[in-house]
Amino acid sequence: MSDHERKLGTCPPGETPYSAYIQTEALHSLQNLVSDSPAEPAFIVNVQVSELYWALITKELQTAQRKLREDNIAETNRVFHRIVNHMVALNANWRSLSWLTPSELMPILRGLQSTHGKDSALQGWSFRHMVFLMGIKQRHQLDYFASQPKRMAQLSAALEEPSIYDDVLAALARSGAAVPQSQIARDYAEPYVADSNVAAVWHQIYIKNDPADHWRAMAELLADIAVEFTNWKYLHLMATRRTFGGRPAYHGEDAIGWLLPTMEEIPFPEVWAARGMVD
């Protein structure tokens, strides 16, 4: 649609306002199948929907960071509510593949390799950006994007910049909470290391038990986000067990063996530690 057509509120020939806005012609041309597996249409749509949700959640996390830097805690919590709902919808997406069997999946993977080359789920830049924003920083993950300079630059920046939790702690400190400076002025590219003093800050928020406290509401929302993020990883793990098993994946490593340790990557650690300190 040209700028002139937009100003006039008209659509290009052969389209409706709906199709022009949603770009349905382009959207429904993006499922290029690589096998004869009857499961492939569902498989590719599932993955594409996941990609859209990861990008959406990333945008929402960036919005939440801007609100935190303005010390607008109530509005940050509204964004966090949206993120939780996006994650619930994303996790429900796994149901559309719950019936998938190894004999239906393997032809897709063989077709993918013969058509596009050896695949790795580690090459999903939208997922990696979301994970970096949630504070799970691993520099070696950048290695998978050497062939995508634009995405390498994007992810390198996300690695070096504060995560959402870094911004939460900075906002807490500005509010007067006793967050150690070492937890704020740190190398953001390094994995976050939990601190007992930060856990004590969250503990104080919890023991006030004030439902009107925006910080207490935030703690609950951070826990919700962490739960839904971990739920997605668990559903991924079980889908892999069910359809792929322990065969080599991820550049030769056992798929199950690679995924299992990621279950321990739970963001916002002191929120969880504080919950165990409440009498």
3-state class (DSSP) for residue 279: coil
So what's the pLDDT on residue 8?
Answer: 52
Does residue 171 contact residue 73 with C-beta atoms inside 8 Å? yes
Distance CA 30, CA 207 (A): 52
* Structure tokens given for 76: 């940050």
The DSSP result for 230-263, as a single string, is HHHHHHHHHHHHHHTTTSEETTTEEHHHHHGGGG
Q: Using alpha carbons, list the distances in angstroms from residue 109 to 22, 29, 118, 127.
A: 30, 21, 9, 20
Q: Where are the alpha helices (DSSP H) in 134-278?
A: 149-160, 164-174, 196-208, 214-243, 255-259, 269-275
Q: What is the Rg, in whole angstroms, of the alpha carbon atoms belonging to the chain? A: 21
Residue 145 exposure: Cα atoms within 13 Å on the Cβ side: 21
| Domains contained in the chain, CATH given | 1-30 (no CATH), 40-275 (1.20.58.480)
Per-residue pLDDT of the chain (279 residues; tens, 9 = 90+): 555 555 556 788 888 999 999 999 999 999 999 999 999 999 999 999 999 999 999 999 999 999 999 999 999 999 999 999 999 999 999 999 999 999 999 999 999 888 988 766 667 899 999 999 999 999 999 998 988 999 999 999 999 999 999 999 999 999 999 999 999 999 999 999 999 999 999 999 999 988 899 999 999 999 999 999 999 999 999 999 999 887 877 656 788 888 899 999 999 999 999 999 988
Here the tokens at position 89 are 């919808």
Helix (H) or strand (E) holding 84: helix 73-92
Token readout for 47 is 């993955």
Work out whether the CA dihedral 165, 171, 176, 180 comes out positive or negative: positive
Contact 20, 12 (CB under 8 A): yes
Single pTM value for the model: 0.92
d(CA 215, CA 75): 12
CB 259 within 8 A of CB 232: no
